[in-house]
A and B are shown apart, each in its own frame.
Chain A
Amino acid sequence: MGQVRRRIAVVDDEESVRKALQRLLRSAGMDVETYSSGAEFLDAMPNGVPDCVVLDLHMPQVSGFEVQAGLAKFSTRVPVVVITGHDTPAARARAIAGGADAYLLKPIDEDVLLDAVAAATSKQSA
């Protein structure tokens, strides 16, 4: 025990997905904060940097790519696990180029997500 609970941010405009991911990550022992838009998440960044952000690509106004670009401006690197329901080679390439630690397709199996989050945060702590 004594392990520090990791703080994960979930950014997805779709409420049902947001809530489901929050529950899953919580059931795996993580603290989860949810954001319904990229702008909301970026605004909250100065108040506390999460250990990892699970980021949807398809969002109105500020897309996942723009969130990635926004994160790059902060001094602290935040690991990003990109999730998408609409996989295209271009999106995948762009997400990876934008520094994504993982690129996952919805629906996401728990092991895949938890492994990706674990890998991303451990890279961070390493």
Chain B
Amino acid sequence: MIVQYQWLIIGAFIIIAAQAVLIGCLLFQRARRRRVDTERKKHDETLTQERAFLRQVIEIDPNLIFAKDRQGRFTLANRALADIYGTTVEGLIGKSDADFNSNVEEVEAFRRADIDVMNTLQERVIPEERITDATGKIHYLQTVKRPIVGADGTARQILGTATDITARRLAEQSIRASEDFNRTVLASLQDHIAILDANGTIVAVNDAWTQFALRNGVPPTMAGSGVGVSYLEVCRHAAASGDESAGRAQDGISRVLEGDSSSFVMEYRCDAPSESRWFLLRVLPFRRAEGGVVVSHSNITQRKEAELELGRQRNELAHFARVTMLGELSGSLAHELNQPLAAILSNAQAALRFLTDDDYDRNEVREILRDIVNADKRAGEVIRGLRLLLKKGEMRQEPLDLNEVVRDVLGLMRSDILNARVDLTAELAPNLPMLTGDRVQLEQVLLNLLMNGCDAMADAPASGRKLLVTTRHIATDSVVVSVTDRGPGIPPEDLERVFEPFYSTKAQGLGLGLMVSRKIIGAHGGRLYAENNAGGGASFCFTLPANPEAIA
């Protein structure tokens, strides 16, 4: 019985103990579950937070970010992409490109790339692709697509990011266009253009430069570009072999390269076996930090030939006019020559007479001989002046003191002015700047104007024959000479006509003087014009450019 109870008690105890263990286990399990739940909840919260954060990152990214499944449906998208398609992120999910993009070609291209990436499991970079936005505007994208590989090793989605490169592409296009433009401009220029660096080495040339070098037998290796060749050296070499203009070019280029001059220009003749051409060399600084110059050679043969022809014609005409004027001047010239000849003859004959007396005065004879020598020299001067006046030649460019030219002419015309019984006044401005020009030609103009002035007053009473010659400095770089008479003046409608050839009011004379004079003044860079004076009579004035630095 006791044993039975014992077993009963033991059994009951075991049952109770087992139940307690069970309960304990249950309690423990519950507690553990509660803890796991809490942890999971916390984990889920963190995940949600991270997801929201990532979402924000994706949202603010200006690049287009998306994921698509095998059917082409968006499983992920950001606002940048939604903006392109004119919808919301939510509106994109579950839809495909075809739902928003009407351009079939673009949609197919996207699709092909997506499938390709999923099939090959290879990331793909598409350097440039088009996408048409909701407004129909085309954007250019640079896209990267990457497969999202699942546990089974296959890809059911792709992840893509695309950068909108439209603006960059436009900028590149415009740079390319402007480069093309500049290249085309340079290539279309007929001038031969080269750019030299600060050492005078050619760094770029245009087509015309290359072509010219080729045509002139420069080795193609050198001419092919000319780039890399020291142009200064080329000039030095040519100068050493006797090309004088190359020496001048070298000097000019060096001066601009070194900043000693702001530019250099020269005209030169280039004699080829077949023809001779004229070029204008221009050297200008190449405006960039590294320095250098732009050298251009322009073919000016046509202009130069026209100029030379004009010059020849002008010289012919001027010579003709001088010969004509000689006739008009003959009175003055005869007088100028006859004076010293008269002195020589009478002196010599007087000396011969003195010598017949045995005690002649040696001093007197010596003095006579000295006077003869002087008079002879004076006659020589007149002849020399005459030859100079009649000399047929090219227009000279020499520094001139205008007042001196006026005084010389007045000296030469002294006798004519006396003959014409004209009262001449000269008002010459002191400190006139120097001019550059042809003395004889300017003398010729003055002679012509003074003679015309005298002739215009031929019918006036002697007391009214007044001629005024003035020189004035009217601007820093300009002087004016005027010859004013008290004649009848010029009918207003003829103020210009007087410069036409063969316009003459005189009995003698061809009427070429004023035309030639105007040409001469024009060739000196000045202007000859006529005007009527308020108080009667006419004035002929001419301007001439002056050298402001040089004071006469």
Contact = CB atoms under 8 A, between A and B. Distances in A.
A27 to B, nearest CB: 4
A110 B349 contact: yes
Interface in B344-403: 344-347, 349-351, 353-354, 364, 368, 371, 374-375, 378
A17 B374 CA distance: 12
Given A58-B415, A58-B419, A16 B339 contact: yes
Contacts, number: 93
A17 B343 contact: yes
B350 A107 contact: no
B349 A106 contact: no
A14 B346 contact: no
B219 interface: no
A24 interface: yes
A26 interface: yes
B307 to A, nearest CB: 42
B353 A108 contact: no
A88 B331 contact: yes
Interface in B107-156: none
Contact of A16 (B349, B364, B374): B374
B339 A108 contact: no
Contact of B341 (A28, A58, A107): A107
Interface in B200-249: none
Given A16-B371, A20-B371, A58-B415, A106 B341 contact: yes
A38 B325 CA distance: 31
Given A27-B354, A85-B339, A86-B331, A107 B345 contact: yes
B343 A26 contact: no
Residue among A14, A19, A107 with max Cβ neighbours from chain B (10 Å)? A107
Contact of A106 (B342, B347, B364, B418): B342
Interface string A53-97: 000001110010000000000000000000101111000000000
Contact of A108 (B336, B346, B354, B418): B346
B415 A19 contact: no
A16 B372 CA distance: 9
Interface residues of B, number: 31
B366 to A, nearest CB: 13
A20 B335 contact: no
Interface string B322-336: 000000000110111
B338 interface: yes
Contact of B350 (A27, A85, A105, A108): A27
A105 B338 contact: yes
A21 interface: yes
A86 B338 contact: yes
A106 B338 contact: yes
A43 interface: no
A75 to B, nearest CB: 28
A108 B347 CA distance: 11
Contacts of B341: 106-107
Given A24-B353, A85-B334, A63 B418 contact: yes
Contacts of B364: 23
A86 B415 contact: yes
Nearest to B334: A86
B338 A85 contact: yes
B346 A17 contact: yes
B340 interface: yes
A109 B352 CA distance: 13
Nearest to A28: B353
A15 B375 CA distance: 11
A85 B331 CA distance: 9
Contacts of B371: 16, 19-20
Contacts of B374: 16
B415 A20 contact: no
B360 to A, nearest CB: 10
B19 to A, nearest CB: 165
Nearest to A26: B350
Contacts of A105: 338
Interface core residue of B345, B346, B349, B374 (most chain A CB under 10 Å): B346
B339 A14 contact: yes
Contacts of A88: 331
A20 B378 CA distance: 15
B346 A110 contact: yes
B335 A58 contact: yes
A59 B349 CA distance: 25
A17 B418 CA distance: 18
A107 B346 CA distance: 8
B33 to A, nearest CB: 145
Nearest to B416: A86
Interface in B401-415: 415
In the A-B complex, list the 10 residue pairs whose CB atoms are closest, starting with the nearest: A85-B338, A106-B342, A27-B353, A23-B350, A20-B346, A16-B343, A107-B342, A107-B345, A24-B350, A110-B349
Interface of B: 331-332, 334-347, 349-351, 353-354, 364, 368, 371, 374-375, 378, 415, 418-419, 421
29 contacts: A16-B343, A16-B371, A16-B374, A17-B339, A17-B343, A19-B343, A20-B368, A20-B371, A23-B346, A24-B347, A24-B350, A26-B350, A27-B350, A27-B353, A58-B418, A63-B418, A63-B421, A85-B339, A85-B342, A86-B334, A86-B415, A88-B331, A106-B338, A107-B338, A107-B343, A107-B344, A108-B342, A109-B349, A110-B345
